[in-house]
């Protein structure tokens, strides 16, 4: 079946599904394969649960015309999404970066949705499956699409760009993330810059932070570059970011100076798409972070900065630096392991431990095998090999009216600390 014919069937369906546990009525089911599953085996169940059609790539599972046989299900999903993107012919904004992608995407979305019908990546569905699903969630009512792109190795952003075909693009920052896949910090810069390369090659528009020398260097002298960063000024960051913009003060619900750049990006996109100034201000002030990203939680007399969605060396240092400036005499960090660092893991975890030792903290707690395994440990810090070890010893700390920073990689699930505090 051609992609054009598959697209005709897609337009007759209400949604796209890839998980039989989340089947909706009249959806188009793609029988994807994984390391431990074969989606073809669930095609029959998908139809039974309400799917209109199922896309499969093994002929033995084809029963009737509701089974759409293709050469490769994943490739067909990706090609269909790119075809649909061309069919809609709407502006697409793509963003990538080492830190802050999802928060930035959400900020852009709340700003642009003040005057436009937007469709944005849900959660962090930003990979080779998530990007196609985002594109296929757009319909004729969508006026602008916002597509987040993640990557942990070279050529991934290039691949995703050739699916989404963005008209506008930006990189939040370059940081020490996914070093195991990228090989080095220089590898990160090269990999993330693939978005710039796509946009430049196709004469599309770059948004570049004029205060970020790495971004400026990667963008070069490309003439379709919109620079931002001078329109605003950071006023305060404790506990929330506030900034001046067009003689007005914006008071956000975001913590951490590292989020200032994310706000500036949203303002720049809002200006470009002619969102009225007051609408931009109202949108940013109304945005509340969720899903363990830079949240401030008040619980049992404690003030908690919950930033437990993910972590890498760059974001960890930024969060710690911000926390060190917090006006509190009882500051405690609970830090979890950072993943995907490859051969640099011990060095990077040692560096974080050393950095913490120079901060104005009452206590520092480290959780995870990487932190536990470093060779030089701080005298006034506590190291636990696993979350269970920490949990079993939690009662010994007798915390009262503390300010906490909780941060670690997603696999550490440090939001579980809230159940202990």
Write down the domain spans for the chain.
3-71, 90-286, 295-419
Sign of CA dihedral 39, 44, 47, 48: negative
pLDDT band at residue 256 under the 50/70/90 scheme: confident
Separation CA 406–CA 331 (nearest Å): 11
Separation CA 224–CA 387 (nearest Å): 49
Q: Indicate if the pLDDT at residue 357 is higher than 80.
A: yes
pLDDT value at position 392? Answer: 97
Q: Percent of the chain scored above 70 by pLDDT?
A: 100
The answer to whether 165 and 92 have CB atoms below 8 angstroms apart is: yes
pLDDT value at position 35? Answer: 85
pLDDT value at position 294? Answer: 80
Measuring CA to CA, which residue among 415, 402, 416 is closest to residue 306? 415
pLDDT band at residue 379 under the 50/70/90 scheme: confident
- Those residues with Cβ within 8 angstroms of residue 89's Cβ, 6 or more apart along the chain or in another chain: none
Q: Indicate if the pLDDT at residue 318 is higher than 80.
A: yes
pLDDT band at residue 293 under the 50/70/90 scheme: confident
pLDDT value at position 292? Answer: 77
Q: Indicate if the pLDDT at residue 93 is higher than 90.
A: yes
CA distances from 412 to 152, 261, 346, 407 (A): 19, 27, 17, 9
CATH C-level class of 3-71: alpha beta
Separation CA 356–CA 321 (nearest Å): 9
pLDDT value at position 45? Answer: 95
- Those residues with Cβ within 8 angstroms of residue 269's Cβ, 6 or more apart along the chain or in another chain: 93, 108, 111, 112, 168, 207
pLDDT value at position 27? Answer: 97
Per residue in 109-151, pLDDT tens? 999 999 999 999 998 899 999 999 999 999 999 999 999 999 9
The answer to whether 66 and 47 have CB atoms below 8 angstroms apart is: yes
Q: Percent of the chain scored above 90 by pLDDT?
A: 87
Give domain 90-286's CATH number out of 3.40.1190.10, 3.40.50.300, 3.30.70.3340, 3.40.50.1170: 3.40.1190.10
Mean pLDDT of 238-263: 93
Question: Domain 295-419 in CATH: superfamily?
Answer: Mur ligase, C-terminal domain (3.90.190.20)
Per residue in 166-225, pLDDT tens? 999 999 999 988 988 899 999 999 999 999 999 999 999 999 999 999 999 999 999 999
pLDDT value at position 233? Answer: 96
User: For residue 393, how many other CB atoms are within 10 A of its CB?
Assistant: 12
Angle at 215 between CA 107 and CA 347, to 5 degrees: 95
Mean pLDDT of 31-42: 93
Q: What is the pTM of this model?
A: 0.89
pLDDT, mean over the chain: 95
Partners of 335 in the beta sheet? 366, 407
**Could you say which DSSP state residue 137 is in?**
T
Q: Indicate if the pLDDT at residue 103 is higher than 90.
A: yes
DSSP H or E segment with residue 4: helix 3-12
Q: Indicate if the pLDDT at residue 289 is higher than 90.
A: no
Fold identical between 3-71 and 295-419? Answer: no
pLDDT value at position 132? Answer: 98
Q: Indicate if the pLDDT at residue 16 is higher than 80.
A: yes
């Amino acid at each position: 079946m051609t992609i054009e014919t598959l697209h005709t069937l897609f337009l007759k369906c209400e949604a796209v599904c890839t998980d039989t546990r989340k089947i909706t009525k009249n959806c188009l089911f793609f029988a994807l394969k994984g390391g431990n599953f074969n989606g073809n085996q669930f095609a029959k169940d998908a139809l039974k649960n309400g799917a209109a059609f199922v896309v499969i790539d093994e002929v033995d599972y084809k029963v009737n015309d509701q089974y759409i046989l293709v050469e490769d299900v994943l490739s067909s999903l990706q090609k269909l999404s790119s075809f649909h993107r061309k069919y809609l012919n709407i502006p697409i904004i793509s963003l990538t970066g080492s830190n802050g992608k999802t928060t930035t995407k959400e900020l852009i979305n709340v700003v642009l949705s003040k005057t436009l019908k937007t469709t944005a990546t849900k959660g962090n569905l930003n990979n080779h499956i998530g990007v196609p699903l985002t594109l296929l969630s757009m319909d004729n009512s969508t006026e602008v699409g916002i597509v987040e792109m993640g990557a942990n190795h070279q050529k991934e952003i290039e691949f995703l760009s050739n699916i989404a075909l963005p008209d506008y693009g930006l990189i939040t920052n370059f940081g020490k993330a996914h070093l195991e896949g990228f090989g080095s910090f220089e590898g990160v810069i090269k990999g993330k810059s693939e978005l710039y390369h796509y946009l430049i090659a196709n004469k599309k528009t770059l948004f570049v932070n004029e205060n970020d020398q790495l971004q400026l260097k990667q963008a070069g002298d490309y003439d379709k570059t919109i620079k931002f960063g001078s329109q605003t000024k950071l006023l305060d960051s404790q506990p929330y970011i506030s900034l001046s913009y067009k003689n007005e003060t914006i008071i956000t619900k975001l913590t951490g100076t590292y989020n200032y750049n994310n706000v500036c990006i949203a303002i720049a996109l809002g200006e470009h798409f002619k969102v009225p100034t007051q609408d931009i201000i109202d949108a940013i002030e109304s945005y509340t972070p969720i899903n363990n990203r830079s949240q401030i939680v008040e619980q049992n007399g404690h003030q908690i900065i919950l930033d437990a969605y993910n972590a890498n060396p760059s974001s960890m240092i930024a969060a710690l630096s911000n926390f060190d400036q917090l006006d509190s005499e009882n500051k405690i960090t609970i830090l979890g392991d950072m993943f995907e660092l490859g051969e640099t893991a011990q060095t990077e975890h040692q560096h974080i431990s050393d950095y913490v030792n120079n901060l104005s903290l009452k206590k520092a707690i480290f959780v995870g095998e990487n932190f536990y395994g470093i060779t030089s440990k701080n005298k006034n810090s506590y190291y636990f090999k696993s979350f269970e070890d920490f949990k079993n010893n939690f009662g010994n700390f007798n915390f009262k009216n503390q300010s906490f920073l909780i941060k670690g990689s997603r696999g550490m699930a440090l939001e579980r600390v809230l159940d202990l505090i």
